[in-house]
Amino acid sequence: MSAITPEAAAEKAVASLLLELVSPKPGNVSRFQDLDDLGLDQFLASVAALAGPFQRISRRDVDIGEGVLDAVRRMSDAQGGGNTHLGAILLLAPMAAAAAGSEWRDIRPTLKDILDGLSPDDGRFLHEAIGLVHPALPPVPMYDVYSSPAEMFEEVSVIEWMAGGEPPGRQENAVAREYVTGFEFTFRRSHPFLRETLDSAPLEDAIAHAYLWIMAKQHDTLIAARHGRDAAEGIMRKARAIMNAGGYLAPAGRKKAEELNAHLVRDRMNPGTSADLVTAAIYLELLGGYRV
């Protein structure tokens, strides 16, 4: 496979955000469902606004932190619904920078180098980007974004403060955990599952199936931050029951998924981090040559 051009890396990042909206993911906005506080129109406006930032990130015109801050600002300016894509931006930005100019097999080693090389300036920009939309975040032993002085994030590496004082892989925040582990979950688990599913299912169904699989494998960060760990683990158990019934690809699993969706929407539980993670898996698949 030839090297991925910066233009292709950026375009596929935007495509992954659009394709994530194609699939009926329980509890999330899609072309089948709006939520009370967010709708498909706001997500589409956000995605359109992210094309330019991803081009600049892929061309290495900006460092990761500055590119993420630019993307979050443009996301916010494009619509009035608030935080549509912070988690996805945080995941896709370093992936896009790593993909540009690389062959597919070299993306992860390049990504690890990029993550290890994130500077205190990157940390300052990332801290500002998170503060712009003020997402719900789980508590951490160290480097809490909201309670620690901003100057602290200029004195430690991004990976150190993403780790939050926990060993690699123990982070409550799934996006931070990807940074600390070199995107272990995306490269070793979620993308391979999506890839295998696509061998026997159309894209829309495969994305919903992979999303439910992600929810079954780890509790959703956003639900845990907003509703508590017990509530998040309860949803994880429901997702496991769906997968045990065949997931979205089986009639029994699909019926249970519809029931889960009704429960999540009713209780205003949004598994937004699971949507971010499935977007990263979609992006990796597109970078590998998948054509819709």
CB 76, CB 133: distance < 8 Å? yes
What's the pLDDT score for residue 192? 98
Q: What fold does the segment set 6-287 form as a domain?
A: Triphosphoribosyl-dephospho-CoA protein (1.10.4200)
Contact residues for 228 (Cβ-Cβ < 8 A; gap 6+): none
d(CA 282, CA 288): 10
Output the pLDDT for position 42: 96
CB 213 within 8 A of CB 247: yes
Backbone angles phi, psi at 237, to 5 degrees: -65, -40
Residue 78 has pLDDT above 90, yes or no: yes
What span, in angstroms and rounded, lies between the C-alpha atoms of 207 and 204? 5
Span 123-128, average pLDDT: 93
| Average pLDDT taken over every residue of the chain | 96
Residue 81 in this model has a pLDDT that exceeds 90: no
Closest CA to 193 of 212, 175, 220: 212
| Dihedral sign for Cα atoms in the order 10, 12, 16, 19 | positive
User: Do the Cβ atoms of 287 and 99 come closer than 8 Å?
Assistant: yes
Residue 53, pLDDT score: 98
Query: How much is the average pLDDT of 123-147?
Result: 93
The pair of structure tokens assigned to 115 is 């993550």
What are 245-275's pLDDT values in tens digits? 999 999 999 999 999 999 999 999 999 999 9
User: How far does CA 251 lie from the centroid of its chain?
Assistant: 28
Q: Dump pLDDT digits (tens) for 162-217.
A: 999 999 999 999 999 999 999 999 999 999 999 999 999 999 999 999 999 999 99
CA distance 89 to 71: 7
Which percentage of the chain shows pLDDT scores above 70? 100
Give just the sign of the alpha carbon dihedral 14, 19, 22, 27: negative
- Residue 227: the pLDDT is 97
Residues 288, 26 contacting (CB under 8 angstroms): no
CB 103 within 8 A of CB 137: no
CB 292 within 8 Å of CB 285: no
pLDDT digits (tens, 9 = 90+) for 153-162: 778 899 999 9
How many residues are given for the chain? Answer: 292
Cβ atoms within 10 Å of 25's Cβ, excluding its own = 28
Distance between CA atoms of 280 and 84, rounded to whole angstroms? 15
Q: 4 pairs with which residues across the strands?
A: 100
Tokens of residue 173, six digits: 């925040």
